[in-house]
Amino acid sequence: GLMNVPMDATTRRWRDIARRFAEERLIPHEVDAEMNEGRLPPGVSKAHAVEARDLGFSAMDVPLEYGGLALRQVDQVAVWEQLGRVTNALCWCFSEPHRWMFEARTPGQLERYVLPLMRGERKECYAITEAESGSDVVVNTTASQVEGGYRVTGEKWYVTSFNHADFLFVQARLDGGPHAGEDVLLFVDADSEGIDVQRTPAFSHTFDHHHPELRFNGVFVPEANLIGKEGGGMAWSHAWFRRERLMIAARSCGAMARLVEEATAFARTRAVSGEMLLDKQLVQAMLADSVTDLWAARLMTYETAAADDRGDDVKALHARCSLAKLFATEAAGRVADRAQQIFGGRGYLRENCAERFARELRVDRIWEGASEVQRLVIARQLAKRGLDGM
C-alpha cells in the first residue's frame, strides 16, 4: 500500500509473519485479558510463547554463530511494528536476547542466562530504576566486594515482568575497591536469598506483567555474574536504551495504524444527523492528522533502523533513536485520543482498543527516557554537532 515505507522482500516477509501472529493469535484474546487482570488461561499463554519462539522472534537480534537469525534492525522494526497493534502486553510473550549481551558476556554467562532466553527456557527482567531515579540516572544500590563476588544492597522500582522472570539484570554502584563509585551490571537469579518484594503497585494498564518494588538485602552475587567489567555497565545500558527506544517507536507506529483503521471503520458505518461520521469534516480532519502522524513516525523509525544497519556513527544513532521515540510516542498519544473521541461513548469502554491504547501508550512517553529527556539528548547533539552532524 501507499502507506508502506520502502521494504525489501525480507522485511516484508517478517512484517507479514508478525502481522499474522498479532491478528490471528493475540488480538482475539485482548478483551479476555482486559477483563482478567491481563491474564490468559495458562495453556493459551504457553501456546503463544512456543509459537513466538518457533517463528524466530526470540532469535531476531542474536548473532548467527550462536544459532540466532541476526536480523537487520529494519526487519526487527517491522516485526515490532506489527506486534505494537496488540494491547494488554500480549506481545510480550517471548524473551529476546540482544546483540549487546553477546559482547558483554563470558561463555558461562552465555550458557546459563543468554542462550536459554533464545530457547524460551528462561525469562529476564531489568532492575535499573530506583526511587530517586527516573529521568535522572541515580544508582544508590551498592555492590560491596566480598570473597567470591559481591553483596548487593538497595531498592529497585518498576522491575517490569519480575513476576515472570527467573533472573534479573541489576545495576549497582561499587562502594569499594579500585572502581569505587563506578557502576556494575550483574546477572542475579530471582530466587537468590535476600530479594524481597516490597509491594506490587497497580498501574493504568491491564497487563499480566507486574512492576514491583524490590529490596535487595545483601544479596550475594558470584563474581562470574559480572557483565563486562567493573565500571563498564553504563555502555551496555546505553546500547539497551537505543534499541528499546527504537522498538518503542516501532510499536507506537503499529498502535497508530490499528487505531486509524478501527476509527475509520467505525466512522464509515455510524450515521449522525443524516450523514456518515466519516463525511463530517471535523472527523475527517482528526483522521487526516492521525494518518500524517503515523506516516511521519514510520519514516523516522525505519530510517533510523536503516542508519543502524548501515553502521552510521553511534552518537548520531543515539540522537536518532531519541528523535524517533519522541515523535512516535507523542504522535501515538494524539492518535489514541482522537480515536477515542471519534468512537464517542464507545471509546470509553474497556472492550474498545482505543480506550486500552489511551491508557497503555501513555507510559511510552515516560519510560526508557521521558519525552523531556529525549529532547535534551537531541538538543545536546545539536549544540555539539550542528544540524548536519546529527
Q: What is the mean pLDDT of the chain?
A: 95
> What's the burial of 6, exposed, middle or buried (CB within 10 Å: 0-12/13-18/19+)?
exposed
Angstrom distance (rounded) from CA 111 to CA 105? 10
> Residue for cell digits 534499541?
243
Q: How far apart are CA 273 and CA 5, in angstroms?
A: 38
* Selected residue with higher pLDDT from 158 and 237: 158
pLDDT grade for 239, boundaries at 50, 70 and 90: confident
CB 349: neighbour CB atoms within 10 A?
12
Alpha-carbon distance of 356 to 138, in angstroms, equals 32
Share of the chain above pLDDT 90, in %: 88
The pLDDT value recorded for residue 31 is: 98
| Average pLDDT of the residues in 338-363 | 98
Average pLDDT of the segment spanning 285-293? 98
Whole-angstrom CA distances from 144 to 104, 174, 177, 214, 379 are: 21, 6, 9, 18, 37
Mean pLDDT of all residues in 161-183: 95
Q: Say if residue 27's pLDDT is above 80.
A: yes
CA distance 43 to 174: 43
The counts of H helices and E strands in the chain are 12, 10
Which pTM does this prediction carry? Answer: 0.96
Mean pLDDT calculated for residue range 192-214: 98
138 vs 250 pLDDT, higher one: 250
Is 233 a residue whose pLDDT tops 90?
A: no
Q: What CA–CA distance (Å, rounded) separates 335 from 350?
A: 17
Kindly state the average pLDDT of the residues 119-132.
93
- HSE toward the beta carbon, residue 320, CA cutoff 13 A: 20
Grade residue 20 by pLDDT with cuts at 50, 70 and 90: very high
The mean pLDDT value for 171-199 works out to 95
> What's the rounded Cα separation, in Å, for the pair 93 and 48?
6
CA distance 338 to 347: 10
Per-residue pLDDT tens digits for 311-338: 999 999 999 999 999 999 999 999 999 9
Q: How does residue 6 score in pLDDT terms, banded at 50, 70 and 90?
A: confident
pLDDT digits (tens, 9 = 90+) for 154-168: 999 999 999 999 999
For the segment 180-201, the average pLDDT, to the nearest whole number, is 96
Average pLDDT over residues 373-389: 94
Look at residue 269 and tell me whether its pLDDT is greater than 70.
yes
Secondary structure element (H or E) that encloses residue 195, with its range: strand 195-199
Q: Report, as an integer, the average pLDDT of 124-147.
A: 88
Residue 2 has pLDDT above 60, yes or no: no
For the ranges 51-65, 174-188, 230-244, the lowest mean pLDDT is seen at 230-244
% of the chain at pLDDT higher than 70: 98
Mean per-residue pLDDT, 70-80: 98
More confident residue, 376 or 235: 376
Whether residue 128 has pLDDT greater than 60: yes
Whether 105 shows a pLDDT value over 90: the answer reads no
- pLDDT over threshold 70, residue 61: yes
Q: What distances in angstroms separate CA 335 from CA 261, 285, 358, 361, one per listed residue?
A: 11, 12, 9, 10
